[in-house]
């Protein structure tokens, strides 16, 4: 443990228990083990906290932070534990501050088209409440067990970002607890603000290193009346990716455009016992379109289909009913789950859209040279590519682990990140940095930007107790 911090003592645990009541404090390996990791799949980030605390109110979060600040105890905030870069791993022990009990405060304001939610509210509850009110929250990071606080802390994205933006574009206000326990409220049910520096945007994406978000206000939209999902198959990835600018230049803005290499489809079909609707070519585009009227949607689908055909699509499938759309979206959304047991790390490089094909082709070549399999898929219209570094290969329905994958993995991730930088990309588009990627930050951002970020961190958290070892 760093010399800056100390372990919890018996009297600390007693103080926390008095503060939070029965069930509010967990201690000991058996009770704390599930709070040692997130979805980042390597074994080495598992670190036991001294205790897990579960506040139910902002006032209780404030009390926990005040105690930790006074006594120099590190605190790691935790949402749904669905992150992919070790952001909620308690590297220095101390306290894991789980917001899971803060899951009841959820109110939809139909007059202002806003929803207010506590940090521990899972996305599936948020979506349900919003839909029941006849409204729409566009960001969809993927895992609906993620929580409100977590998706704000990582500025989560998802497939719909191409049309609607990421979580940042919908956050209008937050309530947050500073490291010393003081509560601040930034923004609110307002659409515009030019009042000083944007502390709101500093907190969004800060990964729990500046403050603990306890409540948030999101802007909502009317729901799209109708949508279709198209799957267009191409002979090559270059053909598929090259079609995306043509769609956008035709003044068509899809809700989502995903590129998917065919090599991962059979694995996912076997995992789900479902069929992907297209079987020709080596790469597919999944394109989601929406419109105000059914007839407008049909014309839009025809235009997109024509553009895809002109660019070499070998077949086009149109999911024009909810069951067909659910099947396509289920297969696409479960690719990660089908690969996860044999995955070492899921990279998250964000690139200029026009560089996707060059990046994926070169990443494939590097992986082959290194001796690993690293399939890439992702968001074709916003440039966010997810390269899966695998420790096994799939052949004829069987997984086979690669000898020496640990050394090969370290080399491959360095070279793929260097490739992303050479093409004008950045290290993360939506997953965040956590501890998994922080070694690359200085190389991507430079000394001056790093110094400014460290100064911001110090201004918020002078003792460095909040989520230490992450981002910087």
Condensed to tens digits (0 to 9), the pLDDT of residues 397-442 reads: 999 999 999 999 999 999 999 999 999 999 999 999 999 999 999 9
> Is 444's pLDDT higher than 70?
yes
Per-residue pLDDT averaged across 63-69, rounded? 98
Give residue-wise pLDDT tens across range 349-364. 999 998 999 999 999 9
**Using 50, 70 and 90 to split pLDDT, how confident is the model at 47?**
confident
Query: What's the longest Cα–Cα distance across the chain?
Result: 72
pLDDT (0 to 100) of residue 318: 96
pLDDT (0 to 100) of residue 2: 44
pLDDT (0 to 100) of residue 41: 53
**Average pLDDT value for the chain:** 94
pLDDT (0 to 100) of residue 143: 84
pLDDT (0 to 100) of residue 142: 81
> In this structure, are residues 137 and 112 in contact, taking their beta carbons and an 8 Å threshold?
no
Q: 279 or 24: which carries more pLDDT confidence? A: 24
CA 81 to chain centre: 11
Q: How far is CA 382 from CA 160, 170, 255, 349, in A?
A: 10, 17, 11, 11
Query: Quick one: DSSP state of residue 250?
Result: T
pLDDT (0 to 100) of residue 160: 87
Neighbours of 194 (CB within 10 A): 5
> Is 120's pLDDT higher than 90?
yes
What does the DSSP assignment read for 21-33? -TTSEEESHHHHG
Q: Which residues contact 65 (CB under 8 A, 6 or more apart)?
A: 75, 97, 177, 178, 179, 180, 181, 212, 466
Q: What are the percentages of helix, strand and coil residues in the chain, rounded to 5? A: 40, 25, 40
Backbone φ and ψ of 280, nearest 5°: -110, 160
Per-residue pLDDT averaged across 226-253, rounded? 94
Backbone φ and ψ of 205, nearest 5°: 85, 5
pLDDT (0 to 100) of residue 7: 87
Q: Strand runs (DSSP E) across 194-335, as ranges?
A: 212-219, 226-234, 256-261, 283-291, 315-319
**Using 50, 70 and 90 to split pLDDT, how confident is the model at 4?**
confident
> Is 347's pLDDT higher than 70?
yes
d(C-alpha 427, C-alpha 432), whole Å: 9
**Using 50, 70 and 90 to split pLDDT, how confident is the model at 1?**
very low
Per-residue pLDDT averaged across 162-184, rounded? 97
Q: Which residues contact 325 (CB under 8 A, 6 or more apart)?
A: 227, 228, 229, 319
The angle at the Cα of 395, spanning 391 to 397, to the nearest 5 degrees, equals 105
Neighbours of 208 (CB within 10 A): 27
Count CA atoms closer than 13 A to 398's CA, side-chain side. Answer: 3
Residue 83: its H or E element: none
Neighbours of 172 (CB within 10 A): 22
d(C-alpha 233, C-alpha 253), whole Å: 20
**Using 50, 70 and 90 to split pLDDT, how confident is the model at 50?**
very high
Query: Quick one: DSSP state of residue 111?
Result: T
> Is 390's pLDDT higher than 80?
yes
Q: Which residues contact 18 (CB under 8 A, 6 or more apart)?
A: none
> Is 162's pLDDT higher than 50?
yes
> Is 105's pLDDT higher than 70?
yes
Neighbours of 181 (CB within 10 A): 18
pLDDT (0 to 100) of residue 43: 59
> Is 44's pLDDT higher than 60?
no
pLDDT (0 to 100) of residue 129: 98
Q: How far is CA 337 from CA 81, 176, 285, 440, in A?
A: 15, 33, 20, 26
């Amino acid at each position: 443990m760093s010399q800056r911090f100390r372990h919890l003592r018996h009297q600390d645990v007693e103080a926390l228990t008095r503060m939070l009541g029965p069930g509010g404090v967990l201690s000991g390996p058996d009770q704390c083990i599930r709070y040692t990791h997130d979805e980042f799949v390597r074994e080495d980030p598992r670190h036991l906290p001294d205790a897990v605390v579960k506040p139910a109110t902002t006032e209780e979060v404030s009390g926990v932070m005040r105690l930790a600040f006074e006594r120099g105890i590190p605190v790691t905030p935790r949402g749904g534990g669905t992150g992919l870069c070790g952001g909620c791993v308690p590297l220095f022990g101390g306290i894991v501050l789980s917001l899971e009990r803060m899951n009841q405060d959820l109110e939809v304001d139909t007059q202002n088209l806003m929803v207010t939610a506590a940090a521990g509210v899972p996305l599936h509850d948020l979506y349900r409440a919003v839909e029941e009110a006849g409204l729409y929250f566009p960001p969809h990071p993927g895992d609906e067990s993620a929580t409100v606080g977590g998706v704000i802390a990582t500025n989560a994205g998802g497939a719909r970002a191409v049309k609607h933006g990421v979580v940042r574009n919908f956050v209008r206000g937050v309530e947050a607890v500073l490291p010393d326990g003081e509560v601040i409220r930034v923004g609110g049910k307002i659409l515009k603000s030019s009042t000083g520096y944007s502390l709101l945007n500093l907190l969004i994406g800060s990964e729990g290193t500046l403050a603990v978000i306890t409540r948030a206000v999101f802007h909502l939209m009317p729901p799209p009346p109708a949508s279709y999902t198209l799957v267009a198959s191409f002979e090559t990835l270059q053909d598929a990716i090259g079609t995306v600018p043509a769609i956008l230049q035709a003044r068509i803005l899809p809700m989502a455009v995903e590129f998917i290499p065919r090599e991962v489809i059979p694995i996912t079909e076997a995992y789900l016992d479902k069929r992907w609707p297209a079987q020709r070519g080596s790469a597919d585009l999944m394109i989601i379109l929406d419109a105000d009227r059914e007839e407008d949607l049909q014309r839009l689908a025809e235009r997109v289909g024509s553009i895809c055909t002109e660019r070499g699509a070998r077949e086009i499938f149109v999911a024009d009913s909810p069951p067909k759309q659910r099947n396509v979206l289920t297969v696409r959304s479960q690719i990660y789950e089908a690969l996860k047991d044999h995955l070492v790390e899921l990279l998250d490089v964000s690139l200029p859209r026009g560089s996707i094909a060059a990046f994926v082709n070169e990443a494939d070549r590097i992986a082959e040279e290194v001796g690993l399999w690293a399939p890439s898929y992702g968001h074709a219209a916003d440039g966010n590519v997810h390269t899966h570094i695998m420790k096994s290969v799939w052949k004829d329905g069987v997984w086979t682990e690669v000898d020496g994958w640990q050394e090969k993995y370290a080399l491959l991730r360095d070279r793929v990140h260097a490739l992303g930088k050479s093409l004008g990309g950045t290290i993360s588009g939506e997953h965040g940095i956590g501890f998994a990627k922080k070694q690359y930050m200085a190389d991507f951002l430079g000394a001056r930007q790093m110094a400014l970020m460290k100064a911001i961190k110090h201004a918020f958290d002078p003792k460095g107790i909040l989520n230490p070892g992450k981002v910087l």
